[in-house]
Structure 1
Amino acid sequence: MNKEELDFYIKCEDFTVSGESFKLYKDKDLDMLVTLPKPANENLGKYYESEDYISHTDSKRSVFEKLYHYIKKYSLNKKVKLISTLNKGSGSLLDIGAGTGDFLIQADLKYWKVKGVEPSVQAKELAKEKGILLESDTADLPSHEYDVITMWHVLEHVPDLTDQIKELKRLVKPGGYVVIAVPNFKSFDAEYYNSYWAAYDVPRHLWHFSKNSIKALFAKEDIYLEKTLPLIFDSFYVALLSEKYKNGTMNYIRAVWIGFISNFKAKQSKEYSSHIYILKNS
């Protein structure tokens, strides 16, 4: 995507690590946003070097972190139940961006044959302590091996979106499923918090998707959208972080209210804070 072909959308700050500013541009054809300037691949790692990057740790230092892990535990069971409806109960599962391995542990308990990929050394070490050995990338994994491939809030991080979707096509079995969870920049909470919306999370989030963009991007590889589901809790989590970025403190009452409004409005608009996309390989 050339910058000249994109329209300026919004300017955002990296509130987590660097304090640097980035611009989001809209690709009208795909109905998605692109973060620019895009850090060089060799420099991306430094933007994840923070104790506040919660998905790469098991830390429970604050009320917010304890709440995150409580909801995470509930969500893990829901995710395993979801994939179990796709493949008659179990099968071969690949989780890309596996973090500290908790989803794979839960799936393994339900008789899935699991494999995970995680580039973060810190997260991999925590997973190893739990008995889960993770790969650093997918390059050496066999083709057409997996009944289900999951990417829970990972696709927005990948440096090369086209190559990643092609790699998913290589890895998934014919008739297998790809399950993607990503934020939705068309949600009410995104509109409300504007440049402070935590799910923009620049520059770690390089891409910002809509339902239209997910459908179009995967259809290019003959992987077709079958169903879209809401992630109800994401609006509250994102609102809490957005309050911190906007006002310097987590206003729990206001964040819960905005999260509630976002979900309420989404019942009509179908534009939730985050969506799960269930896609089937041809």
Structure 2
Amino acid sequence: MRCLACRYELPGHGAITSEDPQGVAPGDFEVRVCPGCGGGTTLPLVGAEELAKYYPQAYGPHSRQGASGPLARAAMAARLRTRLFRRLRRVVASRGGDGGRPSLLDVGSGSGDLGSVLTGQGWRVVGLEPSAAACELARRRGVETREGTLETAELPEASFDAVVFHHSLEHVPDPVDALRAARSLLRPGGAAAIAVPNFDSRQRRRLGSNWWALDLPRHRFHFSFRALHAALERSGLESTWLRPTASVLGPAASAQQRRSGRMEMSGGRFLAGYGAALVTYPLRWALAEALGDGEFIAAIATPRAGGISDEA
């Protein structure tokens, strides 16, 4: 069995074993860590149809009615102030897009939280989401959303100025296939923006299976910096900007999971922790960049002149 990112041979046993923290999928799941790139592969491997069964009906990004309440609105505003989206905007600023607005595909768009905000900031957003219920919620909020995946949506090539994987690339069965599909959708001068959990972060190493961003079995691949670089290279993309960053939610979510053994984002203690995490987010973000060790990885990538690497 080979690593999904770099194709290095995986070890015969897992470094982490965990049950589903949301209590949906039965049994134990394991993560095998690649000796070549440090990325983690969730086992057993499953296809898209089986993977869909791992999402609870009340899965947060699929069921929210939108960013309601001051904490949720502030969290989304904090995310959009990060360098990831500022840099993406600068990369595509020279393109007029359709009707003067740059076009953006939001892969794994959920109920449209990100898309609705980006639409208000001048992007022409198209969401792509496999959950029919989440698509309906997004459309009610005015976000054009297509039901499906990069493999099934039949989107025309070179049709977007930007493709965004905002905490969705770790969910797909094969991240290199997804990145290759994204590359084909980019117009000349376009870019992909990526945000994923950092599997090599201090928080993950300290918390182990209690790290909230592990989220087995929904997270199919777990990225280190080297793993993301390898996946981009094999897909014909290259990173023009790659940085560690902090999580808005992380401290509160991991604390809740340690207490209850479940990913339950509710209750007074969680909300108090969430508020504190939101207040400290700018400091934690600055520290992540200064120390080179954050809970998330953010990247901007553009098509590489040499094209797609051969399969190893």
Query: TM-score if structure 1 supplies the norm length?
Result: 0.85
SS for the counterpart of 2:52 is helix
Instruction: Give the Cα separation in 2 of the matches to 1:75 and 1:258.
Output: 13
Instruction: Give the Cα separation in 1 of the matches to 2:88 and 2:136.
Output: 26
Instruction: Give the Cα separation in 1 of the matches to 2:290 and 2:119.
Output: 37
Shift in alpha-carbon separation, 1:103–1:80, aligned structure 2, 3 A: farther
* CA-CA distance at 1:17 after TM superposition: 2.8
Q: Is structure 2 residue 164 aligned with structure 1 residue 160?
A: no
Q: Is structure 2 residue 79 aligned with structure 1 residue 75?
A: yes
Q: Is structure 2 residue 220 aligned with structure 1 residue 206?
A: yes
Opposite residue 76 of structure 2, the aligned amino acid is: K
The question of whether the paired residues in 1 share the 8 Å contact of 2:65 and 2:137 is answered with no
1:270 is matched with: 292
2:195 is matched with: 181
Which stretch shows the higher mean deviation, 271-280 or 3-12?
3-12
SS for the counterpart of 2:190 is strand
Instruction: Give the Cα separation in 2 of the matches to 1:262 and 1:109.
Output: 27
Residues 187-266 of structure 1: matches in 2 within 5 Å?
A: 187-232=201-246, 234=247, 236-248=248-260, 250=270, 252=273, 256=277, 266=288
The question of whether the paired residues in 1 share the 8 Å contact of 2:176 and 2:234 is answered with no
* CA-CA distance at 1:32 after TM superposition: 0.5
Shift in alpha-carbon separation, 1:229–1:162, aligned structure 2, 3 A: closer
SS for the counterpart of 2:156 is coil
**Which structure 2 segments of 5+ residues have no match?**
95-100, 261-268, 305-312
1:146 is matched with: 160
Instruction: Give the Cα separation in 1 of the matches to 2:123 and 2:282.
Output: 35
The question of whether the paired residues in 1 share the 8 Å contact of 2:76 and 2:114 is answered with no
2:141 is matched with: 130
* CA-CA distance at 1:264 after TM superposition: 7.4
Query: TM-score if structure 2 supplies the norm length?
Result: 0.77
The question of whether the paired residues in 2 share the 8 Å contact of 1:99 and 1:127 is answered with yes
* CA deviation vs aligned residue, 1:82-110 (integer Å, no higher than 9, x gap): 42221117522111111122322333333
Q: How many residues align?
A: 276
The question of whether the paired residues in 2 share the 8 Å contact of 1:17 and 1:50 is answered with no
The question of whether the paired residues in 2 share the 8 Å contact of 1:100 and 1:127 is answered with yes
1:87 is matched with: 92
SS for the counterpart of 2:155 is coil
The question of whether the paired residues in 2 share the 8 Å contact of 1:94 and 1:150 is answered with yes
Instruction: Give the Cα separation in 2 of the matches to 1:104 and 1:268.
Output: 30
Where is the helix percentage greater, Structure 1 or Structure 2? 1
Opposite residue 67 of structure 1, the aligned amino acid is: L
* CA-CA distance at 1:179 after TM superposition: 0.6
Which stretch shows the higher mean deviation, 116-125 or 104-113?
104-113
Opposite residue 30 of structure 2, the aligned amino acid is: K
Instruction: Give the Cα separation in 1 of the matches to 2:187 and 2:66.
Output: 38
Instruction: Give the Cα separation in 2 of the matches to 1:269 and 1:119.
Output: 37
1:25 aligns with one of 24, 32, 45 = 32
Shift in alpha-carbon separation, 1:140–1:267, aligned structure 2, 3 A: closer
* CA deviation vs aligned residue, 1:28-58 (integer Å, no higher than 9, x gap): 223200001134432222221142x221222
Opposite residue 9 of structure 1, the aligned amino acid is: A
The question of whether the paired residues in 1 share the 8 Å contact of 2:196 and 2:298 is answered with yes
2:63 aligns with one of 33, 41, 57 = 57
